[in-house]
Amino acid sequence: MNPAVIQLAYLFSCVLFIAGFMQLSRPKTAKRGNLLGASGMLLAIVVTLLDKQIVSFEIIFVGLLVGTALGIFMALTTPMTAMPQMVGLLNGFGGAASALVTGAVLIEMLSLGNPLTLQFRIATAASSLIGTLTLFGSLVAAGKLQGFIEERPIRYKGEQGIKLLVLFVCLFLGSMLTARPDTLWTYWALLGVSALLGVLLTAPIGGADMPVVICLMNSYSGLAGAATGFVLSNTALIIAGSLVGASGIILTQIMCKAMNRSLANVLLGGFGELKEDTSLAGTIYAGRVKSADPEEVAMLLEAASRVVLVPGYGLAVAQAQYAVRDLYNYLTSLGIEVDFAIHPVAGRMPGHMSVLLAEVDIPYEKLKEIGEINPEFEQVDVAIVVGANDVVNPLANTDPNSPIAGMPILEVYKAKTVVVIKRSLSPGFAGVPNPLFAYDNTLMLFADAKQALQAVLASLKELKA
Amino acid sequence: MDVFIGLLTVFVLAMFVGFEVITKIPPILHTPLMSGSNAISGITIIGAILSAGTKLTMLTTVLSLLAVMLAMANVVGGFLITHRMLRMFRTKGRA
């Protein structure tokens, strides 16, 4: 096919990607946006298959077939609670593919004896480095989220120094590859050291910081694609790659802002290391924590006219989204107004809670962002915190020395009564005690989230019977 | 050099378009945004296909076959999971 036609088709694909992103800005049109993106991709693939550079199709079709099967299998079998791992893994696939394509093209060019431009050489180094880093960083992140790898930060002596050293080796090999691309071993060495860097960078980062890591890997997978675009001098790759790169950067910023921490602070790792400060917890909680049983909570709810549920990662762990739905439906049927307060970093990836609640048919109008719900808590009769801790910790507002100081929190303590469903008084990910548990208007319901919600619902139904 | 400047221009402008468009997406849609943009980063499949089709040496064939598989899994898995998620987002007057 005429190369100009192919280029125009690529341009059209990119227009579809951008239009798709624009449609994704509203829940109503989001599905169409995704389909636009998918058709853009289909067009790009079909047009590429018509390129006259291609002499044989068997390898391509084997690859497409296996990849499609793998993609369908992953997409259909992954439960919504495991979405962060799944997205993490797919980021890694994209990064790996970019690094591999770059290697294949480099070997081709060398064996054909083609001259290599500076642009080609720099892009080759960049794509190999970023792509491999993305794969291994994502594998560690997914492993932590799935529980295969220790979720707490993995620390060791001289950690920052070793990371810095490996980064320098990466950059050194990258410049070697740029200077002498005909020495192919530098490509392989660069892959190896970038892989090591990916692992070293992610291992010391704790589980609750994974949203940031996944956003960053998302961004890298796009940038690796854009770098591959410079390798091939292909605008479709550059445009699509930079769109994804930009998207990941924005999400990373949003996540960091929602924790009032800098990206550097997250990346250096170690946040959420287990350092038990029982003395402080002792003075804060001493004799002031009131616990309640499901019957008391049911009575509170019966008398309430406005209820807000605050879900956190614990909801996902306990698979309590269906129990939440049942309680929501019953309360709504009693004429009680029920909303959900969603903190940006609740869960293990941006928007994690929204997806879990959407899965159980909670209408999305009921999901309130932090700025929207905070001024309303004073009118709330009962706020129920399910599996969240740091995001409702008033220390963030009151103690400037706390690790979570300045983090925007959901101000549940303003509600008339706060019910915290939690197994124990153990600290959240940040490792600090939560004075909210000892507030006069707080009741602790010590139990598994799912069982507690079911018990509350059962008592409430008994009251009404 | 001219080619490079042209491509660099495209890259920088596309980044800005990305920032502009994506800032408008509300937090409740951030997970589908990630998985959807994730699928788009599978665009590297274009390079993988071209390379796999040339079939130059055993090594390039193996590398590009792997790349096609991974990129295609990324594309199909990404779009499909996004579709699955977005289908669940419902408004009040739902069926």
Cross-chain Cβ contact B7/A215 below 8 Å: no
Token representation of residue B91: 């408004």
Helix (H) or strand (E) holding A134: helix A118-146
Query: Is residue B73 assigned to a domain?
Result: yes
Stretch B48-77: mean pLDDT = 93
Cross-chain Cβ contact B60/A20 below 8 Å: no
Shortest CA distance from B52: residue in chain A: A60
Active-site residue A390, yes or no? yes
DSSP assignment of A317-379 equals HTT-HHHHHHHHHHHHHTT-EEEEEE-TTSSSSTTHHHHHHHHTT--GGGEEEHHHHGGGGGG
Phi, psi of A443 (to 5 degrees): -120, 135
Do A191 and A132 meet the contact criterion of CB atoms below 8 Å apart? yes
Q: Which among B24, B35, B47 has CB closest to A234?
A: B47
Query: Is residue B80 assigned to a domain?
Result: yes
Query: Is residue B71 assigned to a domain?
Result: yes
Within the 4-63 window of chain B, which residues sit less than 8 Å (CB to CB) from chain A? 4, 7, 10-11, 14-19, 21-57, 59-61, 63
Shortest CA distance from B17: residue in chain A: A243
Do A327 and A457 meet the contact criterion of CB atoms below 8 Å apart? yes
Q: Which among A104, A221, A364 has CB closest to B67?
A: A104
Query: Is residue B8 assigned to a domain?
Result: no
DSSP bridge pairs for A339: A308
Q: Which residues of chain A have a CB within 8 Å of the CB of B67?
A: 63, 96-98, 100-101, 104
Report the pLDDT value the prediction gives residue A274, as an integer from 0 to 100.
Answer: 53
Percent helix, percent strand, percent coil in chain B, to nearest 5: 85, 0, 15
Size of interface A-B (CB pairs under 8 A): 396
Structural domains counted in chain B: 1
Do A219 and A256 meet the contact criterion of CB atoms below 8 Å apart? no
Do A96 and A132 meet the contact criterion of CB atoms below 8 Å apart? yes
**Sign of torsion, CA A277 A278 A282 A283?**
negative
| pLDDT band of B94, cuts 50, 70, 90 | very low
Cross-chain Cβ contact B47/A28 below 8 Å: no
- Shortest Cα distance from B2 to chain A (angstroms)? 11
Q: Which among B29, B60, B86 has CB closest to A104?
A: B60
Best to test chain A binding among B28, B57, B60 (most A CBs inside 10 Å): B28
Q: Which residues of chain B have a CB within 8 Å of the CB of A230?
A: 4, 7, 11
Range of the domain at B49: 27-88
Do A134 and A201 meet the contact criterion of CB atoms below 8 Å apart? no
Report the pLDDT value the prediction gives residue B95, as an integer from 0 to 100.
Answer: 38
Q: Which among B15, B28, B85 has CB closest to A367?
A: B28
Do A388 and A397 meet the contact criterion of CB atoms below 8 Å apart? no
Query: Is residue B59 assigned to a domain?
Result: yes
Residue B43 has pLDDT above 50, yes or no: yes
Cross-chain Cβ contact B54/A108 below 8 Å: yes
Within the 61-90 window of chain B, which residues sit less than 8 Å (CB to CB) from chain A? 61, 63-90
- Shortest Cα distance from B58 to chain A (angstroms)? 10
Which of A132, A249, A30 lies closest to B15 in space, CA to CA? A249
Phi, psi of A386 (to 5 degrees): -115, 105
Token representation of residue A126: 């960049």
Q: Which domains does chain A have, with CATH numbers?
A: 78-268 (no CATH), 278-464 (3.40.50.1220)
- Shortest Cα distance from B9 to chain A (angstroms)? 10
Best to test chain A binding among B40, B56, B57 (most A CBs inside 10 Å): B40
Report the pLDDT value the prediction gives residue A383, as an integer from 0 to 100.
Answer: 95
Report the pLDDT value the prediction gives residue A280, as an integer from 0 to 100.
Answer: 63
Query: Is residue B41 assigned to a domain?
Result: yes
Give the distance from CA A355 to its chain's centroid.
12
| Consecutive 10-residue averages of pLDDT for chain A (465 residues) | 89 96 92 96 95 89 96 93 91 96 94 90 96 96 90 85 94 94 91 96 88 92 96 94 94 89 82 58 77 92 94 89 95 95 89 91 92 94 93 89 87 95 84 89 93 95 87
Shortest CA distance from A122: residue in chain B: B4
Distances (CA, A) of A417 to A52, A60, A102, A392, A408: 70, 62, 59, 14, 21
Q: Which among B28, B38, B70 has CB closest to A87?
A: B38
Report the pLDDT value the prediction gives residue A71, as an integer from 0 to 100.
Answer: 96
Shortest CA distance from B42: residue in chain A: A94
Q: What is the complex's ipTM, to 2 decimals? A: 0.95
Which of A260, A206, A285, A270 lies closest to A397 in space, CA to CA? A260
Tokens 């800098």, residue located = A262
Q: Which among A238, A244, A251 has CB closest to B10?
A: A238
Query: Is residue B65 assigned to a domain?
Result: yes
- Shortest Cα distance from B54 to chain A (angstroms)? 5
Query: Is residue B2 assigned to a domain?
Result: no
Cross-chain Cβ contact A246/B53 below 8 Å: no
The catalytically annotated residue of A51, A390, A399, A448 is A390
Tokens 């799944």, residue located = A86
Shortest CA distance from A371: residue in chain B: B27
